[in-house]
Structure 1
Amino acid sequence: MSTTQSERLRELLEPLVTSQGLDLEEIAVDSVGRKRVLRVVVDSDTGADLDQVADVSRALSAKLDETDAMGDGEYTLEVGTPGAERPLSEPRHYVRATGRLVRFQLAGDTEVVARVLAVDEDGLDTEVPGVKGRKPSARRLRFTEIDKARVQVEFGRKDTKDMTETEEEA
């Protein structure tokens, strides 16, 4: 049974990331010219701040230095969080995207853009925005029918928390 370098690195590094209260979302080793770059993406249900990313980066660097997991060659370690338009692939990703607008690629090449309202073990409840004066509509999506999903960046949208605070102040 052969394992890839990424799988071996995940086994080595995931316990460290988890001990810092974060999830190891992605790990990739890329060649850039003669150098290699180890990219590690971390996140949590509440997000990861710069201090947490720095702490986990130091812990991962120390662990990699004491092992030969990256071999003898030179490499650069990059630790970060998923971007604003992160792809969603695990149920926890959908939970973290609750309230956000998501572009879904469904089986059969159907595309739906909807706001995630609630997530359970089978799928999610969404609200498809109304178009051309129509009212929004509810739609249930099962995880099994979702091929790809990506959070969409929304400019000019007030956060619902901010709207609630503003309404309470009035």
Structure 2
Amino acid sequence: MSNKVISTTEELLQPILKEKDLELVDVEYVKEGKDWFLRVYIDKEGGVDITECGEVSEQLSEQLDKEDPINEAYFLEVSSPGVERPLKSREDFEKNINSNIYVKLYEPIDGEKEYQGILTDFSDGKATIEYKVKTRKKLVEVPYEKVAKARLAVTL
């Protein structure tokens, strides 16, 4: 059910985002408490503003009303992914070389299931992350298939 809602939403979004030169980062359809939320995350070089989010929300809402792919009542939220933007594709990894990232893995590598550090390379389907253990810098190669979740990470 939720996969169909997500795929239909993605299809409806494509022409809207293309016209505005925006990028789809993610779509979530989740139940929180008794309420359903359809969350759409959009972005562009330099970030999106509230006006762009509002315009996309209005246009998408009209399209969703026409197609009516969702049976229950829900809240539509359109926003920027924020500074801790998720990395959802190989292209996201390639675009974020030299960025600080956080990855959570399906299975451990070198005894660890989570890494945070600088993405120094992404090639041959592997992300190379430079991370610190106390004062020493180390490298880990993470096959893309082992990544359960990844996002940009804010450093203070």
TM exceeds 0.5?
A: yes
Which residue number corresponds to residue 149 of structure 2?
148
Indicate the residue corresponding to 2:15 in structure 1.
15
> In 2, are the aligned partners of 1:18 and 1:24 still within 8 Å (CA)?
no
Q: What residue ranges of structure 1 are gaps of 5+ in the alignment?
A: 156-170
Give the TM-score normalised by the residue count of structure 1.
Answer: 0.66
Q: Distance in 1 between matches of 2:129 and 2:48?
A: 26
How many Å apart are 1:57 and its aligned residue?
Answer: 2.0
Question: Would you say the 8 A contact 2:36–2:75 is kept in 1?
Answer: yes
Aligned partner (choices 111, 115, 121) of residue 112 of structure 1: 115
Given that residues 28 and 40 in structure 1 are in contact (C-alpha distance below 8 angstroms), is that contact kept between their aligned partners in structure 2?
yes
Three-state SS of the structure 2 residue aligned to 1:87 is coil
In terms of fraction of residues, the more strand-rich structure is 2
Relative distance call for 1:123 and 1:15 in structure 2 (3 A) is farther
- Residue of structure 2 in register with 1:77 after alignment: 76
User: Equivalent residue of 1:27, what SS?
Assistant: strand
List per-residue Cα deviations over 1:68-121 (Å, max 9, x = no partner): 3345x6543210122333332312322343332222234532233220134346
Given that 2:12 and 2:60 are in contact with CA atoms closer than 8 Å, whether structure 1 keeps it comes out as no
Structure exhibiting the larger radius of gyration computed from Cα positions: 1
Asked if 2 retains the 8 angstrom alpha-carbon contact of 1:91 and 1:121, the reply is: no
CA distance in 2, matches of 1:119, 1:102: 12
- Quote the sequence identity (%): 25
Cα distance in 2 for residues equivalent to 1:106 and 1:39: 24
Q: Deviations over 1:32-57 (max 9, x none)?
A: 67764322112235433333323322
Gapped runs of 5+ residues in structure 2? none
1:92 alignment partner AA:
E
Structure 1 window deviating more from structure 2 (119-128 vs 79-88): it is: 119-128
Q: Which amino acid aligns with 1:84?
A: V
Report SS of the residue matched to 1:108: strand
Instruction: Give the structure 1 partner of residue 92 of structure 2.
Output: 93
